[in-house]
Chains A and B, each alone.
Chain A
């Protein structure tokens, strides 16, 4: 079965600092990878997705992610975090007719 691991349950960064959220996946074939963000009390919003091609993917809100097949990773990055980025972030892999999600990483931003 496919699986997604997000090793960090919580991360705290200072406003203006860079951010990297880790995601490792287990998938037999070419993975279809997604990052979603969930703001408090909100549904999930797609930040970016990777299907094929360029391994560096640009998303909304200044986020990017890099697919590294050799490391089975799809880490999310942002060069400068804003207080409004505080939320929970989910990495997911497409598996047939569903998304398989990681457990999520809660991002706290301190001023």
Chain B
């Protein structure tokens, strides 16, 4: 595997379900991100992890819970979601630090539908 991978690619869940999205980066980066992309809205940053510590949480509802066990893996745990949470969830990684352009490389995304 190369680059950034995400599983599953598609997910349909009910409002009472609990599911998790997985992201893995094979680029040796030290920062990982979760973004939400809804129809007709700009990409929204949800969480940033740098060196496995969460450094930013853009006031995301608690029904979204991130986990970063190591620098290569990032999870987004979902529970009691709402239909308006249906969106494309994108994971990205970058090499953050002095001298780096900190270009973010994205995975293919998980298309989530909440019924």
Q: Answer whether A and B are interacting partners.
A: no
